Chains A and B, each alone.
Chain A
Amino acid sequence: MVPSPILLTALVYSFILSLLAMGFTLQYITLSVPNLAYATIAFASTYLTLTFSLMNLSPYVAMPFGFLLGGAISFMLYKFVAFLRNRGTSIVGLMMATIVFDLIIYASMNIYADYLAYVFKLYAGSFSLSEFDFEIFSFPAVLFISGLTSVGLVAFFTLMLVKTKFGVAMRAVMENFNLASVHGINTERILSIAWFFVGGTAGLSGSLYPIWFAMDPWVGARMFISIFAACVIGGLRSIYGSLLGGFIIAFSEVVVTYFLSLYFPWIWAYRAVTSMVIAAFALVEMPSGIAGLIEKLRRG
């Protein structure tokens, strides 16, 4: 039997990771540019959560602000990338443009952490806010809130993509950018809004992270491995595949590693690497991921 703290950790982690993987895939599909700043954008909002906690407010108050922060940064990044793309910059140049944002956010997080340490005399380079959480039916509230946020946002995106005019236009842009613009769709506006929402989702996920997990400015770099692995498992270009990939990677990192650590105790320290091993295996054995597997099964 899996002990409850391990199961709780796996659940909270999988809710957060699957949302992040979905957002990363969505941004990739829209511009065909992997956003290297994605994880850092997501975890920038953790410092908002910390700030609210320092003001004796519930960390959950930070969630909408985290959404806005993530959305705003992502929007600016999109504008910069789109500007370069319109000038004919190569894919390498566009990925470098995302690195520009990654570096600025990473440095800003560290400067802010230093500032908090200077003003509040606390070590903001590494922190956890689990003590600020409350309980619902003897379970930590973060379990329900992260779950509801995850399910709610997936439902929102699905309905938006299927039921609204904006969603249909967005799907058209994702399928064929040039054809969509020929048909009179304002592609720039559609993509700006899409990147804002996806960035906001990342910010929302990030603002929940320190309520259960320990946070430091390097979390973004480490989590990027897991996000990438989840996308690879999902099939690189499948939104729902990446959601499933998020759950698989999260459970592998936490639950599978926990069981293995019962026999090989040293393995727990390397749980962050588990996802990379799975991703490398998937690339060799199942390059089209879960999405490809489902497609194959459907075709019989």
Chain B
Amino acid sequence: MFLIDLIMDIIAFFCIYAIITLSLNFQQGYTGIFNLGLYFPIIVGAIITAYLPGRLAMVIYGLDPKLDFSANNALVLSILRSKLSSDPVTSIALLTLTLAAVAIVCYIIGFLSSYPALKLPADYLALFMLCAGESLRVIGMQTDWLAGGVMGITIVNPFWWLGGYSYYGMASFTIISTILIALLYHRLCESPLGRLLKSIRENELTAESVGKDVNGVKRKTLAFSFTILGLAGVLHAFLMGAVVVGGYTRVDFSFWPWLMMIIGGTGNNIGVFLGTFSLVIMRRIMIVGKHYFWFLPFNVVWFEPILLAIMLMVTLVFRPEGILPERSPKIRDYLRKVLKLES
């Protein structure tokens, strides 16, 4: 059972990080938008997940309005658990509503934040997004009623009706969502839009000179990526069963995905999958294995950023294009044409 739990855990976390790195690849690898603040929309998603479904369920089941979801978290959750355990329709409705709310909010935030952000040169855009993410993290940690503040908050599970298999239910939902999102990104990247994004990445001036609205496309790309990242935040929060905003750090939710993309291969979705998979496996092994280093006078968890740094350094020096570099569209198109002619 332990092995099944571990495998399920690895797959679920791989899926969360795959969604994040695919979004990053869509922004950086395809469009050239240098965004270091990936955790900004992820935190938005997590905060809405902490706030919305629990309170909605309280209204639906007519719980005492004097009870506060955040302040009386344990009591409210025990009541909601008993109700939701026998009500799959409401549970799924809560999940759908949360996803829809996050998608709408993140799209709007992405669209609005692009206005100041796109006025900046690429490097300062990255800093702006990084600071925006850090600011939201501070807000989330300081606001108790939003997501439990520093201590965090436990949230409802939309798969409680599966009894002892609720975690598997959520993990399966995450896997299915990831497959759908990956297919969506694949379709987008292979479509004429993908080529337009690449042309913007390669030379904005040229794209503009042939009548393309570069800023408009970038704005929509950023808003769309924000939406998907927000959904990753929802899935992560539901999977964890709790939201601690302080835990959404730049290292875990921005720098790690960047490393996954760089190691896998920027501009190549399969490479990104490969990079994500290898690093998620490595991280989970480190988390499981840290108990064997109890004798050290410090927490062995701090080796994780050092390891990340070393891997990043080695990749930058020896293989900056990643394991699977971006495929040349010329060769691919040529091969496709030849094969078509032959067939």
- Give the interface SS of chain A, mostly helix, strand, loop or mixed: helix
B89 at the binding interface (Cβ < 8 Å): no
- Cβ-defined partner of A272 (8 Å) among B122, B135, B308, B309: B135
A236 to B302, CA, bound (A): 34
Interface 1/0 per residue, A88-129 and B, CB below 8 Å: 010111011101110110111011001100110000000000
Main secondary structure, interface of B, reads helix
CB-nearest residue of chain B to A28: B123
Asked if A8 is an interface residue, CB under 8 A from chain B, the answer is no
B94-153 contacts to A (CB < 8 Å): 115-116, 119-120, 122-124, 126-128, 130-132, 134-135, 138-139, 142
A114 to chain B, nearest CB (A): 3
B124 contacts across to A, CB distance below 8 A: 34, 232, 236
* Per-position binary interface string of chain A over residues 223-244, scored 1 when its CB falls under 8 Å from any chain B CB and 0 otherwise: 0110011001000100000000
Is A185 at the interface (CB under 8 A from chain B)? no
B134 to A96, Cβ gap below 8 A? no
Query: B289 within 8 Å of A by Cβ?
Result: no
Interface size on A (CB < 8 Å)? Answer: 45
Once A103-B251, A269-B142 are accepted as A-B contacts, the answer to whether A96 and B135 lie under 8 Å apart by CB is no
Scan A266-277; emit 1 where CB is below 8 A from any B CB, else 0: 000110110010
What's the interface size class on B, roughly? Answer: 35 or more
Report whether B115 and A284 are in contact in the complex, using a CB–CB cutoff of 8 Å: yes
Counting CB contacts under 8 A, is A145 at the interface? no
A273 to B28, CA, bound (A): 27
Q: Contacts of A272 on B, CB cut-off 8 Å? A: 135, 138
Q: Which listed residue (B131, B250, B298, B309) contacts A279, Cβ 8 A?
A: B131
User: Which of the residues B115, B126, B297 comes within 8 Å of A95, measured between beta carbons?
Assistant: B126
A221/B134 contact (C-beta < 8 A), A34-B127, A100-B312, A236-B124 known: yes
Interface residues of A in 258-300 (CB under 8 A from B): 269-270, 272-273, 276, 279-280, 283-284, 287
Please report B residues at the A interface, Cβ cutoff 8 Å.
28, 34, 36, 115-116, 119-120, 122-124, 126-128, 130-132, 134-135, 138-139, 142, 249-251, 255, 258, 262, 297-299, 302-306, 308-309, 312-313, 316-317, 320
Give 7 closest A-B pairs by Cβ, nearest first: A114-B298, A103-B309, A118-B297, A283-B116, A107-B305, A103-B305, A269-B142
